[in-house]
Amino acid sequence: MKDTDRYRRFGGLAVALLFGTFFSLFTVVPGSFGETAKPALSNQERLHLGEQMYREGLLPSGEPMRAYVKGDLPVPGTAFTCVSCHLRSGLGSVEGGVFTPPTNGDKLFQPFQLLFKGLEQKYFPLPPRRPAYNDETLAEVIRSGATPTGKALNDVMPRYLLDDGDMALLIYYLKELSAHYSPGVTTTALHFATVITDEVSPEDRNAMLAPLELYISIKNNQAKAYKTQGNRSRQMAENMLVSKELATRNLTLSRWVLKGPPDTWRKQLEDYNRKEPVFALLGGISYGDWKPIHDFSEQNHIPCLFPMTNLPVISETDWYTLYPSKGYYQEGETAARYLHAGGALPKGASVVQIVRDSPEGRALAAGFRQTWLDSGHPAPKTVTLKAGQAINGNVLRQAVTKKKPRVIMVWDGGEAVPALQAFAASGSRPALLFVSARYLGKNLWTLPDQIRPFTYITYPYTFSLNVTYSSMGSATLQDDQQKTLSQANILIKNKAQEMASLGDTLTQILTMALMDLKGNYYRDNLLDVIGMIADQPSSVFGRLSFGPGQRYASKGCNIVKLTKGLTPELVKQSDWVIH
């Protein structure tokens, strides 16, 4: 996400926080805020209701919280939620020159020290910016904006009108928010794990593991060196890492190998987590559906960063797994967006999907269907190829003859390529044929010459990556300007190389995230800080983008055609189709 986009996200609301320390008050409601205000509620219920107020701006009654900005301008609490600026962890942020202070339990109830770029200045004994809050002063600042020092927060900061009972619930939640380090954190180490399912080949397993284990080995060797007496590099490292303790903190990586059928994985994961709790899952690889591992992460609140899967869970609301891309689903989305944006199809034109009944085929078809429907088109017709059913010319000719589609999607693997020749001899071929480069694999280069002029290919990888590095090692992203690509010039030659490249990208992201945590080792904070990382280069996808709540880093896909001849090239038919 670009800085300008981030600034717009925070908008004028965030500007107010430059001068404030936390919430503000508009109208004072007298009364106490004791934790017995809702005696009938369990602690778990109080947490849930407080979380609902913090994240969604909804009162326990289900009504929006009442709020005001700029003195007397009423706004709905659902549009001015606490989480939108203070983030899910409550640790706040520094973004685009805008500072949003922390609101978590560990920070609110102790003096707030002078900060510079979000960092406490421990070596200059200046008075604290504000004293520690108690229940009464915190309620006061939430309602009126009056701080314990008698100052007023900027009037763009919402003032929330809460009665005593609702205020007690919100304060109860804030006291528990990021109040204790997450599991997997000790005074000297951060513990991670990576999940591997047992059908993965040794080559792919090693390709995924190698960058991670090398990174951790280097980090731990540095930490060991810094601990030696008289090490002159330690002070420089501590200053560069921002959080001094990170210089000498060790990292560990456990291998959680899952065996047997997927319906047994959940128990294995729970057993691993019980024996050796981890701060987060890094990478990981499976050839199958990632959903069992996704659900485990979601329900145990364990971040899972960059699992190597083309079958991620597609969700707009789940929080804890950050995928490199939407995989096959994203290619289906791209085909639909390209067709819709082109506008070449007559209204109501028939579209047929011929779908292999496999995880890959189903994901491609689901991505196309949902995006096609969302664009206002009627549902495509679907012909399903059962497992083991051979696709041949008769299947394709029947689909054309019976349904007379203008467009056909063939979501099948390389075994479909010989059958596609049937379209070359057919007098009633579709106007456009779509296939998936990732599903076809190397068979992509053997598509029959006669069908190449009307065959469109979803190609999710970059054509070229032009990255320059400054003297400090930061990458400069440039747009992919290359229009054609031959098989010989593809950067990523096989699946193992793709795994290794994504693993390198993961270690870059992890390096930045650990520094940005600033010693605040809370799982939600890890995902919060990754959401503020600038776009990163990737030799697989070209550009990876992050943002608050975004869970798929690659945002696009190419539509290409294959030229005729024995040494064909892929030729772009679109810009990077953005999702």
pLDDT tops 90 at residue 34 = no
| Candidate ranges 275-284, 424-433, 531-540; pick with highest mean pLDDT | 275-284
More confident site: 577 or 418? 418
pLDDT tops 50 at residue 13 = no
pLDDT category of residue 251 using cuts at 50, 70 and 90: very high
CA distance to 22, 25, 30, 67, 215, per residue, from 162 (Å): 16, 10, 11, 9, 49
DSSP secondary-structure letter at 45?
H
Question: What is the reported pLDDT for 244?
Answer: 77
Question: What is the reported pLDDT for 7?
Answer: 35
Question: What is the reported pLDDT for 429?
Answer: 83
Question: What is the reported pLDDT for 31?
Answer: 42
Mean predicted confidence (pLDDT) in 429-449: 93
Quick: pLDDT tens for 404-422: 788 999 999 999 999 988 8
pLDDT tops 60 at residue 22 = no
Render the burial of 185-214: b for 16+ CB within 10 Å, e for the rest: beeeebbbbbbbbeebeeebbebbbebbee
pLDDT category of residue 397 using cuts at 50, 70 and 90: confident
Mean predicted confidence (pLDDT) in 290-317: 97
pLDDT tops 90 at residue 11 = no
Quick: pLDDT tens for 125-141: 555 678 899 999 999 99
Mean predicted confidence (pLDDT) in 371-394: 89
pLDDT tops 60 at residue 124 = no
Question: What is the reported pLDDT for 343?
Answer: 67
pLDDT category of residue 17 using cuts at 50, 70 and 90: very low
Tell me the backbone φ, ψ of residue 401, rounded to 5 degrees.
Answer: -70, -45
* Residue 393 exposure: Cα atoms within 13 Å on the Cβ side: 8
pLDDT tops 60 at residue 3 = no
Question: What is the reported pLDDT for 391?
Answer: 86
Residue with tokens 């539509």: 559
Portion of the chain with pLDDT greater than 90, in percent: 59
Quick: pLDDT tens for 499-517: 999 999 999 999 999 988 9
Mean predicted confidence (pLDDT) in 93-99: 68
Quick: pLDDT tens for 552-573: 999 889 999 999 999 999 999 9
Mean predicted confidence (pLDDT) in 164-187: 96
More confident site: 99 or 248? 248
Q: What is the pTM of this model?
A: 0.86
Question: What is the reported pLDDT for 342?
Answer: 78
Quick: pLDDT tens for 187-202: 999 999 999 999 999 9
Mean predicted confidence (pLDDT) in 197-221: 95
pLDDT tops 60 at residue 2 = no
Average pLDDT over the chain reads 85
Question: What is the reported pLDDT for 579?
Answer: 61
pLDDT tops 60 at residue 144 = yes
Closest CA to 517 of 131, 205, 249: 249
Q: Is 242 exposed, middle or buried (0-12, 13-18, 19+ CB in 10 A)?
A: middle
The two structure tokens encoding residue 421 = 């020749």
The two structure tokens encoding residue 206 = 């090693």
